[in-house]
C-alpha cells in the first residue's frame, strides 16, 4: 500500500520543465487520495495553491545562478544544508509504505541530496528529465561544436573535451560535481529505479553506468494546446516556442524565416532575447506565455519549428503542437523525431543547415495540401505518442506499487524451520 509519495525537487514552481511535471504528479496523486509531500530546495512561493493533501517543505536555498560565484560553486558541489533538509524529513517521517521520487537536483539541492536518499534507495525512483544523472553537462552534447556527444561519461576523452556552454573551467567544475554524485550514490549497484521519459534514452543511461534492469520508461503526459484542429493550411505565421538559447536553435529559425520571407512569432525568454530583438525586428518576440495564451496564439499559425541542437529527451512542445493540428518541423537530433515523422505530422530538419531550413519553410509556406495532411495526421494520431495525465498517473502508481513490492520482498526475513514444516 502506498502510504505517501515524497517528491524531491530543486523547485516547486509552475513551468514546462521538470518542476512542472513534478507538480502535475503531486496534484494527480493527491486527487487519487494518496498523500503527497514535496521537499522543495528553493522557496515556497505558490505552494498554497497546490491543494489539500499536499504538504510542501522548502529549504529556501538559492539556485546556482544566484549569489556570489564562489559560494554558488561550492554549494553546487555539496550543500550540507540540503543534505540536512532531506535527512531530517526522512528520519522524522519515513515509513515502510513511503515512496520517494527525485525529479531534479543539480540547480539547488546538489549531490548532497543523494546521501540521505541512500537509506531509502529500495523505495526511490529518479526521473531522468535530462542526462545529468550520467553526463556532467546534462546534454550528451558538445555545445561549442554543436554536435551530439558519443563519449563515455568521465572517460579520459570526456574529461579532456570542452563541451560546456560557457568554458572549459566550468566543464571541469561539472566533472567534479559528477564525481561527487557518483561517490555519494552508485547508480550501477543501487536498488533505486531510473524513470526515462523516452525509450531512446536507455542506451545513453546505460553507457553512463545505470544498470539496464534499473530503467523504467514512462513518457511525460501531454495535453494539446487546442481541442479543435488548427486550420494550419489557412495560416501563414511560423512559430517558435521555448528557451531563447542557441542549443534550442532559435537563432537558426530567425535567420531561416527571414531568408524564406515568412512571418515569425517567437514565444519564450532567455539570454538571446535582446540579440534577437536587435537583429530581427520583423519577428514578433512575445516573451514567456502561459499554455492558455499559447493556445490563442497558435490558432493563426501555419507550423512550429523545434530545431533543438541537442539530443532532446522528450519534446513536449513538439507533441503539444502536433496534437493540436499544428505541423512540426523538428530537429533530427530530438529522440521523438522519427516517430512524429512516421506519424505524418512532422518533417525533420538539420538545425545547423540554415539554407536547408529556409528552403523547407519556403516550400511549406505554399504547399497547402501537404500542410493540411500534416495537421490532420497530428490531430488524429498524435495521442498515440504520449499518455494523457490520467494514464500517466496510472503508470506512476504502478511503478510505485512495484517498488514497494520489491522492497518488501527484499526486507522479508527467511522462513523459519517451523514455518517450512507448517507448509508440509
Name the helix (H) or strand (E) containing 282.
none
pLDDT higher than 90, residue 419: no
pLDDT higher than 90, residue 132: yes
| Residue 167 or residue 368, greater confidence | 368
Of the ranges 6-20, 38-52, 135-149, the best mean pLDDT one: 135-149
Which grid cell is 187? 547508480
What digits encode the pLDDT tens for the residues 302-351?
999 999 988 889 889 999 999 999 999 999 999 999 999 999 999 999 99
Report in angstroms the alpha-carbon separations of 381 from 30, 156, 188. Answer: 30, 45, 38
CA distance 23 to 126: 15
Would you call 5 helix, strand, or coil by DSSP? strand
Q: Strands 141-142 and 147-148, how do they pair?
A: antiparallel
Confidence band for 49, pLDDT divided at 50, 70 and 90: low
Predicted TM-score (pTM) of this structure: 0.88
8 A C-beta contact, residue 278 and residue 213: no
CA distance 422 to 424: 5
pLDDT higher than 80, residue 63: no
Report in angstroms the alpha-carbon separations of 211 from 101, 200, 203. Answer: 18, 15, 11
Over residues 204-233, mean pLDDT: 96
Helices (H), 220-336: 250-260, 273-279, 291-297, 316-323
In the prediction, which pLDDT does 146 show? Answer: 76
Q: Which of 60, 77, 65 has its CA nearest to residue 113?
A: 77
HSE-CB of 85 using CA atoms within 13 angstroms: 24
| Residue 417 or residue 404, greater confidence | 404
What digits encode the pLDDT tens for the residues 313-326?
988 999 999 999 99
**DSSP conformational letter for 36:** E
CATH H-level, domain 232-385: superfamily? Glycogen Phosphorylase B; (3.40.50.2000)
User: Do 4-221+388-411 and 232-385 fold alike per CATH?
Assistant: yes
Q: For the chain, report the end-to-end CA distance as a whole number of angstroms.
A: 30
CA distance 40 to 388: 26
Q: Cβ neighbours of residue 56 under 8 Å, at least 6 residues apart?
A: 12, 37, 38, 40, 44, 47, 50
Q: Which residue ranges make up each domain of the chain?
A: 4-221+388-411, 232-385
Over residues 180-185, mean pLDDT: 92
**DSSP conformational letter for 416:** P
CATH H-level, domain 4-221+388-411: superfamily? Glycogen Phosphorylase B; (3.40.50.2000)
For 260, phi then psi, to 5°, come to -80, -5
> Hey, which residues does 237 pair with through a beta bridge?
301
8 A C-beta contact, residue 233 and residue 369: yes
CA distance 383 to 408: 36
User: DSSP per residue over 197-250, as a string?
Assistant: SSGGGHHHHHHTT--GGGEEE-PPP---S-SS---GGG--EEEEES--SGGGTH
Amino acid at each position: 500500500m502506498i502510504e505517501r509519495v515524497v517528491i524531491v525537487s530543486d523547485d516547486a514552481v509552475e513551468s514546462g520543465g521538470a518542476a512542472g511535471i513534478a507538480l502535475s504528479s503531486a496534484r494527480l496523486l493527491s486527487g487519487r487520495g494518496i498523500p503527497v509531500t514535496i521537499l522543495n530546495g528553493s522557496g515556497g512561493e505558490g505552494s498554497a495553491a497546490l491543494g489539500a493533501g499536499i504538504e510542501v517543505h522548502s529549504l529556501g536555498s538559492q539556485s546556482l545562478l544566484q549569489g556570489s560565484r564562489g559560494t554558488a560553486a561550492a554549494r553546487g558541489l555539496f550543500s550540507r544544508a540540503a543534505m540536512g533538509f532531506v535527512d531530517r524529513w526522512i528520519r522524522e517521517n519515513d515509513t515502510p509504505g513511503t515512496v520517494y521520487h527525485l525529479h531534479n537536483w543539480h540547480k539547488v539541492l546538489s549531490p548532497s541530496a543523494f546521501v540521505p536518499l541512500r537509506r531509502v534507495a529500495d523505495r526511490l525512483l529518479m526521473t531522468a528529465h535530462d542526462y545529468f544523472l550520467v553526463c556532467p553537462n546534462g546534454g550528451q552534447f558538445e555545445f561549442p561544436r554543436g554536435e551530439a556527444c558519443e563519449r563515455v561519461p568521465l572517460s579520459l576523452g570526456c574529461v579532456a573535451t570542452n563541451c560546456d556552454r560557457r568554458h572549459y573551467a566550468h566543464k571541469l567544475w561539472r566533472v567534479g560535481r559528477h564525481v561527487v554524485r557518483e561517490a555519494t550514490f552508485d547508480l550501477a549497484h543501487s536498488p533505486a529505479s531510473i524513470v526515462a521519459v523516452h525509450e531512446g534514452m536507455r542506451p545513453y543511461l546505460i553507457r553512463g553506468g545505470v544498470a539496464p534492469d534499473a530503467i523504467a520508461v514512462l513518457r511525460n503526459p501531454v495535453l494539446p494546446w487546442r481541442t479543435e484542429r488548427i486550420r494550419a493550411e489557412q495560416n501563414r505565421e511560423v512559430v517558435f516556442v521555448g528557451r531563447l538559447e542557441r542549443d534550442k536553435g532559435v537563432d537558426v529559425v530567425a535567420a531561416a524565416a527571414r531568408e524564406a520571407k515568412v512571418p515569425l512569432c517567437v514565444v519564450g525568454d532567455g539570454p538571446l532575447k535582446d540579440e534577437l530583438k536587435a537583429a530581427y525586428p520583423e519577428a514578433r518576440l512575445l516573451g514567456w506565455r502561459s499554455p492558455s495564451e499559447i493556445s490563442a496564439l497558435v490558432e493563426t499559425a501555419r507550423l512550429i519549428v523545434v530545431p533543438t541542437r541537442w539530443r532532446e529527451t522528450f519534446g513536449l512542445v513538439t507533441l503539444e503542437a502536433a496534437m493540436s493540428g499544428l505541423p512540426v518541423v523538428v530537429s533530427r537530433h530530438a529522440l521523438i523525431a522519427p516517430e512524429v515523422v512516421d506519424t505524418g505530422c512532422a518533417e525533420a530538419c538539420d538545425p545547423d543547415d540554415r539554407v536547408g531550413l529556409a528552403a523547407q519553410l519556403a516550400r511549406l509556406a505554399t504547399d497547402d495540401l501537404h500542410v493540411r495532411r500534416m495537421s490532420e495526421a497530428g490531430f488524429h494520431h498524435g495521442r498515440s505518442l504520449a499518455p494523457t495525465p490520467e494514464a500517466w498517473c496510472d503508470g506512476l502508481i504502478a511503478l510505485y506499487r512495484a517498488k514497494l513490492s520489491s522492497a518488501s520482498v527484499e526486507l522479508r526475513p527467511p522462513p523459519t524451520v517451523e514455518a517450512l514444516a507448517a507448509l508440509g
